[in-house]
Each structure stands twice: as structure tokens, then as C-alpha cells.
Amino acid sequence: MQIMQMNNKKLLSKVSILLTLTIAVVAIGLVLRTESTVHAIEGAKPVGVELGDVVINQGFAEMIEAVTPAVVSLEVTQKLPTSYQGQNIPFDPFKNFREEGPGQFPEWFWEQFPWAPENFGNKERRKSPPQRKYSGVGAGLVFDPSGLIVTNNHVIDNAAEIRVTLHDGRVLDAEVVGVDQFTDLAVLRINADEQLPYAEFGKTDKVRVGDWAIAIGDPFGLQKSVSLGIVSAMGRNFSYDSPKVPLIQVDAAVNRGNSGGPLFNAMGQVIGINTMIISPSGSSAGVALAVPSSIVEDIVTTIQTEGRVTRGWLGVEIQTVTPDIAGALGLDEADPYGALVSRVQVDSPAEGAGIEVGDIIVSFNGQRIDDIQALSKIVKLTVPGSEVPIFVLRNGERIELQGTVDLLAMNGQQMEKMAAPEEVQEPPIGASVATLTPELRKKYRIKQGVKGVVITDVMADSPAAKAGLEEGDVIVSINNQSVDSSESASEVIQSVTETGKSSALLLVADGQGRQQFIVIALS
């Protein structure tokens, strides 16, 4: 019994210590403090977690409950009239009636169906054709309590009707305030007759790889679905059809219907607007992309105040100055910078300023150009009509030019004015070249405007082959010296070789006139 009592005492003592430690841990708590700020509109306050403690084991439930009222669902309807061309009717709903025989249906019957084939010759009876309705879903975010919503431009593009479902179930019609195709953003307005819950934009420069990322939207029409992930990368850029701004990459599940919806951080601040995914199947593959909130905030503010977004246009095609290209041009290979001009558009501000193919733009409007992204951003942010200084490196010399920035059109018409290639480069070492003749143009399908010498053969394992040159490519220039015959190409290559350089910079065009610089070894 005594031994039992001693064991019981020891057991009670251990339990007491364990309970004490447990209470201490709970009392101390592992907490996250979150803050929210007050919107400029008097009496309005953004959704988010109030000042206070959020216990870690509660996850993000409290934050999500707080911000979800600012997320809206969009149903977009596009009406397209059905086209009936004479007797080319893919589906004829009157076929069976007609086959019953002539005179089976009186005149008044066909008057009930003004789009029927029998009425094609009757202008009075042939009224407006029926309209098919195409509906799509997406998401949006209330960013102003007066009823302003941001979403993707591609969600509401060509919409005949936009219906917005609010957090309380009300469905309201929306009107488009303005759009920006460049960033794939659009601003809508609804009249709710009251201030709405809204979310505030966070600071993109505070976002880091590894931060929490919470997406809310309507994937496959499932309203207010939440997915969680982390920020996978920052500053993603793509050349194909996508917003032409650096994007945030996250691994949160984003699918069709999430477009236009917000991406939140752990404090309930908007860090981006979901805009696209990369997936072989069309569904989430763990690679989602969002327009950063800093860009979103600038765009929606501009649309609010001016109704549209204007951007500057220079009219050049540019490429990165790689160490190889820098070495070929006699520049510092260890610190290449600037934007190499591979093409100048006809009647463009660049042409007017005297910018030439082969120039390296190193400064624009007083700002150093480190890379092609920097130049693109600075030009587009320049007010159209502004006259700006432009510094370029040309044949090793720094030259100052003056240019007037034009207005960037979003319909692609400016791209149609692209000049034909004037220069291309390629060393004849390991490749046979020939002067462009009508026969060779036809054989390699080379447009008339393309100038230079055409590659007719590339030897295996040659410098030309290693540089990626192919038969049918056109060499426009070599080390910024135009070539228009096999003889001139050989002369330029020989002169470059005699200077002791180990490589040459070629400007190469394809049959359509698309150009790029290529560095090729000389041996």
C-alpha cells in the first residue's frame, strides 16, 4: 500500500506539472497580429481582420470570413445573332413541317417564325434573327465602397450584359467604367444604394517568395471557393498572349472562373488579381499567375479619374544584351546592360528620332536602361506627346537623340506598319550564302521587303549550325554592316576576322521579316 501511495503521489505530481505547462503554453499563445487601415471615404472601412489575435490553429478561417464579402461573382452574357445564308442552314427546325406537303400550313403559321427559310424573300416578315446567348463566369473584387469592382478585361470583353452577385445574394447589373487590355484589367460599376464591403490593396514590394497566397473565386461556377498556396515566384514575364507586366506566380489552385478574382495575403490584403494559368490540361496544374496589386491599384485609379489608360509608344523591337552580344560589340561582357534594337517600325517615333537597327538604348528620358523590361516599362509610362532624350551606343560611341513619344494603340495597327528588315548578320563560315533573287525568294518563301543574303546550306557541327542558323534564314547585317550579296558578306566577315575578334554579331531574319541578333563564333 505504501508503495502504491508513493506511486500515486508521483503520478499526481507529474500530472500537475503537465497541466501547469499546458496552461502556460495556452496563456502565452502563438498569435499573429493583423492590421487594417481606414479607407479615405468617411465611415467606410476595408474588410479584413480587426486588430486582435488570431490563434494559429484556427488557420485562415477568420481572415477568409472577413474578406469574402468583398468578392463578387460575375455572369457575363454575350449575344450573337445567328447567321442564315440562303439555303446554307446547318439546322432547319421547319424541315419536317415542310415535308408534309405544300399548303399544309397557312400563311399565318409562317408569320409566327420570321426567321424561317420561307421568309428570306419577304422583307416585312424577315425580322431580326434569333440570338444565341453565350454565358461565362468569373469573379471580381469590390475595391471602393461606392460600388467599383475590378476584374479581368478578358472576362467582360464584348459583353452584352454583366450581372454581379453580391455577398448577400443580390444580383445587380454592372456597367463598364473602363478597361486596360495591356494589363488585362477592367473596372465595373454597380449601384447598390449603400456602401459595400471592400478590400484594400497590399504593397507588392512587401511580397516575398514563400508568402501565403489565398485565392477566392468561382472555379467552374462554384461561387466563393477558396484555395491556399504560397508565392512561387515574382516578376514572371511572357511574350505570348498575356498581361504585358511582371506577374506573381502562385501554386494555389486556380481554374476557369477564378479569373478576375483576388489573391490575398495572410492579413487579408489584396496582393494581386488572378488572370491566367499555365496548364497542359486547362485545369489547375499548380502554376497560376496574378497581376500585382501595385499595378492594379495604379490602373484602377487612372480608369476612375480619366476613364481610360494611355501609354507611350516608341516603335522598336528589342532584345536582351547578353554577355556574348556585348563581347561581339566590344562592350563589357561582365556587365551587359541596355536594350538592343533589332527592328525599327516605319513612321514610328524611333524612326523619327534617328534610332537605327543595332543601336543599344542605354538611357531613356533620364533613366538608365538595364534591360528590355526596363525600357518597355519606362516608355509605356511616358505621357504621349512628350519629347524625351534618348542615349544609344552605336559602334562603341554614346550618342544623344531626341524623340517624341506617341500614343500606343491597343488594336495592333501600329504593328502592321513594321518596316521590312534592313540588316541581318551571319558569318559564311560553315554556311553558304547567296544574293537574294526572285527564284530564291520563291523557294524559301521570303517576303519582298526582306533584304540581305540568304543561307542556302549549313554544314553540320559548324559555327553557323551551333548558332542555330538554318537554310532559308536571311543575314541582314554583320557587326552592324549591311550585306546584300554573297561578296559583301564575305568581305565583312574577313574584315571582322582581321581585327582579331573571335565572334561576330549577326542580324538574322526569317522569311516573314522577323529579326533577331545572333552571336556566331569565328574560326
Per-residue pLDDT of the chain (523 residues; tens, 9 = 90+): 233 344 455 544 554 555 555 544 444 443 333 333 334 456 667 766 554 444 445 688 999 999 999 999 999 987 554 443 333 333 434 444 444 444 455 555 445 555 455 444 454 444 444 445 556 789 999 999 999 999 999 999 888 899 999 999 999 999 999 998 888 999 999 998 899 999 999 888 889 999 999 999 999 888 989 999 999 999 887 655 567 778 999 999 999 889 999 999 999 999 999 998 888 887 788 999 999 998 899 899 989 888 888 888 999 988 888 888 888 887 888 888 999 998 898 889 999 999 999 999 999 999 999 888 788 888 887 888 889 999 999 988 999 999 999 987 654 445 433 333 333 334 456 888 888 888 888 888 898 889 899 998 888 778 888 888 888 999 999 888 888 887 788 888 878 877 778 888 889 998 888 899 988 887 6
**Nearest of 331, 206, 184, 187 to residue 271 by alpha carbon:** 206
Instruction: Count the Cβ atoms, other than its own, within 10 Å of residue 309.
Output: 20
**Nearest of 470, 452, 436, 450 to residue 513 by alpha carbon:** 450
Distance CA 233, CA 230 (A): 9
**Nearest of 519, 382, 510 to residue 447 by alpha carbon:** 510
Distance CA 266, CA 283 (A): 25
Q: DSSP letter string over 361-380?
A: EEEETTEE--SHHHHHHHHH
Whole-prediction pTM value? 0.55
Residue 152: its pLDDT value, please?
94
> Using the 8-state DSSP alphabet, how is residue 408 labeled?
P
Residue 91: its pLDDT value, please?
40
Assign domain 312-417 to a CATH class: mainly beta
- Over residues 109-134, the pLDDT tens digits come to 445 555 455 444 454 444 444 445 55
Residue 429: its pLDDT value, please?
64
**Nearest of 231, 223, 243 to residue 169 by alpha carbon:** 223
User: Coil, strand, or helix at residue 302?
Assistant: helix
Grid cell at residue 76: 457575363
For 431-521, CATH gives 2.30.42.10
> In 3-state terms, the chain is what percent helix, strand and coil (to 5)?
25, 30, 45
Laid out side by side, the sheet with 148-152 consists of 171-173, 161-165, 71-81, 131-144, 148-152, 185-189, 175-180
Question: What residues are annotated to the active site?
Answer: 154, 184, 259
Question: Which residues, including other chains, have CB under 8 Å from residue 53's CB and lie 6 or more apart?
Answer: 29, 31, 32, 33
Instruction: Count the Cβ atoms, other than its own, within 10 Å of residue 412.
Output: 7
Distance CA 404, CA 355 (A): 12
Residue 18: its pLDDT value, please?
53
- Over residues 10-25, the pLDDT tens digits come to 544 554 555 555 544 4
Question: Which residues, including other chains, have CB under 8 Å from residue 515's CB and lie 6 or more apart?
Answer: 317, 342, 343, 357, 421, 424, 476, 507, 508, 509
CB of 458 closer than 8 Å to CB of 407: no
Considering the chain, tell me which residue range(s) the CATH 2.30.42.10 domain(s) occupy: 312-417, 431-521
Residue 133: its pLDDT value, please?
56
| Mode of pairing for the β-strands spanning 515-521 and 503-509 | antiparallel
Question: Which residues, including other chains, have CB under 8 Å from residue 39's CB and lie 6 or more apart?
Answer: 45, 46, 144, 145, 198, 200
> Using the 8-state DSSP alphabet, how is residue 39 labeled?
-
For residue 81, the cross-strand partners are 131
Residue 126: its pLDDT value, please?
44
* E strand segments, 131-221: 131-144, 148-152, 161-165, 171-173, 175-180, 185-189, 212-217
Distance CA 490, CA 495 (A): 9
